[in-house]
Every structure is written in structure tokens, then in C-alpha cells.
Amino acid sequence: MTQTSVNLALVKTVYEGFAAGDMPRVLGTMADDIVWNEAQGNPYADQNPYVGPEAILTGLFARLGGDWENFTATPSEFILSDDTVIVFGTYTGRFIATGKAMNAPFVHRYTVRDGKIAAMQQYTDTAAHVEAMGA
């Protein structure tokens, strides 16, 4: 296996684990000092950067799980370049407090270092998030 295919498999594990609700599997892909940034303008960017798996779990994933019904991040395309994996996909879900549905495209840029995800930067239609959330 090439390093880029190993990196791709690592990043795919994030989406597979998230879809299965297997947070230990998702967190297991992350470096201890991972730096995770939500897109500027995203209501969840209020704690940027999330540093470390525990900060991502409690500050972001737990909030998503509590705020949204059937929240999904579905990848559709992966682009590989050395230690970088770029993922195109779609977010869907219904914000519980407003009952409004969201369907928004995303791009995630992952940096892999020493077999772990070291960084993630989100790009998305933040207006779609804000509209669904009534924020």
C-alpha cells in the first residue's frame, strides 16, 4: 500500500465511524494534538480551534449529536496529495430546536502525520447551517 492509500483509508474511517455512531473509532484516527477548525461563520466555530480528540468530542461532536436529528456527513469524492486528503461531500440533518432541515455541501481538508490525522479544516455553506439553526 502506498502512503496516500493508507492516508485515504484513515480518513474514510472517520466517516464510517461517524455514520455508525462509533466515536472511539473516529477519535482513534486522531493525533493527540490534532487541530480541528470549523468554517468561519459556522455556529460551531465558536470554540475554534478544537485541539485534541477530547475537545473535538465534547466541544463539537457531542453538540452535533444533541442539536441535530439524523445528522450525516456523507463523502462523495476524495482527492489525495502526499499528507493531504481533501473530501467533498454533503451534510444533512434536521435541527431539533427549529425542526428545519439542512442539506449543505462541504469540503474537508485533512493533514495526516505519522499515521494519524493532525489537522482538519472545514469549508461549508455556513448560511445553510445558520438558517436551519435559526441562529
Share of the chain above pLDDT 90, in %: 96
| pLDDT tens-digit map of 40-89 | 999 999 999 999 999 999 999 999 999 999 999 999 999 999 999 999 99
User: Are residues 44 and 60 in contact, defined by beta-carbon separation less than 8 angstroms?
Assistant: yes
CA-based radius of gyration for the chain: 14
CA pair distance 110, 8, nearest whole angstrom: 10
Where is pLDDT greater, at 3 or 67? Answer: 67
Q: How many C-beta neighbours within 10 Å does residue 84 have?
A: 15
The arrangement of secondary structure in 3-133, i.e. its CATH architecture, is Roll (3.10)
Domain residue ranges in the chain: 3-133
Residue 124, amino acid? T
1: pLDDT strictly greater than 90: no
pLDDT value at residue 98: 97
CA pair distance 54, 47, nearest whole angstrom: 13
Mean pLDDT of 99-107: 98
CA pair distance 27, 47, nearest whole angstrom: 18
Where is pLDDT greater, at 51 or 2? Answer: 51
Mean pLDDT of 22-28: 96
